[in-house]
Homo-oligomer: A and B are copies of this chain.
Amino acid sequence: MSETKNHPYHHGDLRRALIGTALDMLATDQNWTFTLREVARRTGVSHAAPYKHFRDREMLLRELARIGFVRLGESMTEAMSLGLPSTRARFTAAAQACVGFACQNPGLYRLMFSSDADKTIDPQLHDAAMDTFGILLRLLRDGQQDGSFRPVAVSALAAASWAQVHGLAMLAISNQLLEEKVGSAPVPASLDVLLDGMCRSD
């Protein structure tokens, strides 16, 4: 009865399998308190096997975060490429995609911006985060060039909108955007307030 599981000694693609298991647990529990041993167990390997692919538990977490940034970028890019009429509409679409991503992947989103995913010690993670930030930056520049956004320093627009969107996402997944506090559609409402400040008033 010991050989029903025909697992070959070598898994074949354990690294990817571990990441998949960990992403599943992150999505299920909405936190990353899982132990590395549990990940190994669910993947069907010994508790020491993961160390052949990740130096330590945090290295796995950083890889999850990196994947999160890639996926977030894809979501935003997709939302923007729907043939929307105005730059303002594309901005709103991207922002809502970001908040939507956070709401659908709260654990992952939190991890991406937590201190457990330290970007200062992981160039790949840092680059992935910067690439996603770059999507926003390009949108803002385009908007300034086509006259949609005010010609103030793009850095001010970037800081304001990055903070705004990230703040909305964090508050949304913390259930702090309850209707009785901030109305029924706080995300578009507050984006409109911001855009009123960002857009040319002519």
Contact of A167 among B129, B164, B187, B196 (CB under 8 A): B164
Question: Which B residues lie within 8 Å of A153 (CB)?
Answer: 183, 189
* A25 nearest CB across to chain B (Å): 14
The A contact surface, by secondary structure, is: helix
Contact of A193 among B31, B181, B198 (CB under 8 A): B198
* A82 nearest CB across to chain B (Å): 24
Question: Which B residues lie within 8 Å of A6 (CB)?
Answer: none
In the complex the two chains form, what is the Cα distance from A167 to B198 in whole Å? 17
Identify the A interface with B (CB < 8 A).
30-31, 110, 113-115, 119-120, 129, 133, 152-153, 155-160, 162-168, 170-171, 174-177, 181-183, 186-187, 189-198, 201
Extra contacts besides A159-B190, A160-B164, A164-B194 (16): CB < 8 Å: A110-B115, A129-B176, A155-B183, A155-B189, A157-B193, A158-B182, A159-B186, A163-B166, A166-B171, A192-B197, A193-B194, A193-B198, A194-B194, A194-B197, A195-B197, A196-B198
